[in-house]
Amino acid sequence: MTSSHSTLEQLKKLTTVVADTGDFERMQKFQPQDATTNPSLILKAAQQANYQALVQRIKAAHPGMKPSELADYILVAFGLEILKIVPGRVSTEVDARLSFDTAATIQKAKHLIALYESHGVDRQRVLIKLAGTWEGIQAAKALESEGIHCNMTLLFSLVQAAACGSVKAQLISPFVGRITDWYKAKLGANWNDANHGGANDPGVTSVKRIFHYYKHFGINTEIMGASFRNTSQILELAGCDLLTISPELLSELQDSTMIVAEKLSSANASKALADENITQLKLDESSFRLQLNNDAMATEKLAEGIRNFCVDTEKLEALLSA
């Protein structure tokens, strides 16, 4: 079935659409409400010819500054350009190497906010991205109490989501595609798109579970599905609070006229939770760590995600010191 409106336009009526890229020139045509960045996306953008002038401008403005400090200025420079395009918020990530250090994470987050505010940007327009580790979640608790809003990322499990909700984090970014990648690799030849795709996609079902948990227990934290591998995963989550989507998949949605149906609604939350037999989770530190540890997929993907962001942060610093 098709519509006279593009699939992207229809999706925007059900869900807030966010651009997942550091390439601000490219995001303009999709008119997203917000935008998200991460060290990998900023590294990718900083290597593009069209952004060399911006990178050089920041380097010239701060001669002799250590690459690790310069990286913060680069992240914020891209964020400032993005905020000229999106009417809403930009997400900027704290150095992933601080994922297990609450105090250092809080300090870095405040530094990033101060850089934005020095350019006249209201902190309400910035989300500080933190890894969904116990330490990151405790940092979010402290930051939110000071009006610094957090986007909890590298989120792969209900226990991480529940803990983020309990500290009143502004927003969580459950990763869809990376969950699916793990199950695909695990099942190997036994993976079957007919059985494991669409509504049964493990990444999709994970976000649905989180959505139902939040809506049933009255948790106000926003849910933003992230890390999509295809448009099917996106459309299966139509109705989620927000979805952050790469330019490649935004293009596909813009070029399609397929009918979009609402798949997630608060009205069905309590029944869906009862069907899955999910009760409120215990969220003290030892319970959190045990539940996360007992979820092999979430443990492995969280560790891998932090490692990869650390590598890309170091690559960005190498690029800046070149």
20 within a domain of the structure (yes/no): yes
Of 144, 140, 85, 83, nearest in space to 115 by CA: 83
Report CA-CA distances (Å) from 245 to 16, 56, 66: 11, 28, 33
The pLDDT assigned to 322 comes to 85
Instruction: For residue 176, count other CB atoms closer than 10 A to its CB.
Output: 28
Q: For residue 184, what is the domain's CATH number?
A: 3.20.20.70
83 within a domain of the structure (yes/no): yes
1 within a domain of the structure (yes/no): no
Is pTM beyond 0.95? Reply is yes
The pLDDT assigned to 55 comes to 95
The pLDDT assigned to 1 comes to 84
94 within a domain of the structure (yes/no): yes
CB-side exposure of 184: number of CA atoms within 13 Å?
12
73 within a domain of the structure (yes/no): yes
The pLDDT assigned to 3 comes to 83
Which ranges of the chain have pLDDT less than 70?
Answer: none
203 within a domain of the structure (yes/no): yes
What is the residue type of 200?
A: N
The range of the structural domain enclosing residue 256 comes to 7-321
2 within a domain of the structure (yes/no): no
Report CA-CA distances (Å) from 233 to 188, 196, 204, 227, 271: 20, 11, 6, 10, 22
Report the C-alpha gap between 21 and 300 in whole angstroms: 24
- Specify whether the CB–CB gap between 167 and 137 falls below 8 A: yes
268 within a domain of the structure (yes/no): yes
Asked about 129 being catalytic, the answer comes back as: yes
pLDDT tens readout for residues 54-84: 999 999 999 999 999 999 999 999 999 999 9
Q: How many domains would you assign to the chain?
A: 1
- Among 12, 108, 129, 301, the active-site one is 129
Angle (deg, nearest 10), helices 296-321 and 285-293 = 90
